[in-house]
Amino acid sequence: QKLTVSENLHAALMALRLFEQFLWIDAICINQEDLVERNQQVSLMNAIYRSADSVIAWLGPEGDDSQFAIETMERWKIRITQRSETTKKDYWNTVAAITPSDPAFYGPPGTTPHRAWLAIKKIWERSWWSRAWIVQEATLAGSRHLSLMCGKDYVYWDDFAVAIDVAD
């Protein structure tokens, strides 16, 4: 049967087709026009998210230097992991010590801290963050299962949290 989807969902499906997995997509699986069905499905979301192997939050197509933002977050994770010991306390102390003037965290020579901060800020300003369900998605998925996907690139929730801590 033919299914009409939004341009944004089409872009997400095109990016997600690279993954060999079953997908549960609320915009497809829940009839948003049927209040009874929607309420029934919402009551099942806890079980759906908790039983998922992973949860991917689609932030939208690549744009606004999103690929660079995600690469920067990955670079920060690697550098922080290299600089810290194995304990969580050491890890977070290393995160707290990063400053906007630390050039080792901003990419190849010539990359400015401003570009990194601006790219991450643009990720933070995407419309996904204004959706009513994001707290439920993030909480029920648990940080170890949640990824944020933008275009073909993705970042794990914990690595995004590090970037936000660094930027704070």
DSSP letters of 9-52?
A: HHHHHHHHTTS-S----HHHHS-TT-HHHHHHHHHHHHHHHHH-
**What is the average pLDDT score of the chain?**
78
Q: Is the pLDDT of residue 150 over 90?
A: yes
- The angle at the Cα of 144, spanning 82 to 57, to the nearest 5 degrees, equals 110
Low-confidence winner among 20-24, 54-58, 164-168 (lowest mean pLDDT): 164-168
CA atoms of 92 and 36, how far apart (whole Å): 45
**Are the CB atoms for 43 and 140 separated by under 8 Å?**
no
CA torsion through residues 59, 141, 54, 38, sign: negative
CA atoms of 114 and 28, how far apart (whole Å): 39
**Are the CB atoms for 150 and 123 separated by under 8 Å?**
yes
Cβ count within 10 A of residue 30: 18
- The whole-number pLDDT of residue 77 equals 73
Q: Which residue has the higher pLDDT, 76 or 129?
A: 129
DSSP bridge pairs for 149:
58, 154
List the strands of the sheet with 55-60, edge to edge: 55-60, 146-150, 153-156
Q: Structure tokens of 52?
A: 């998922």
pLDDT band for 62, please (50, 70, 90 cuts).
Answer: very high
**Are the CB atoms for 11 and 128 separated by under 8 Å?**
no
Cβ count within 10 A of residue 139: 12
Q: Is the pLDDT of residue 72 over 60?
A: yes
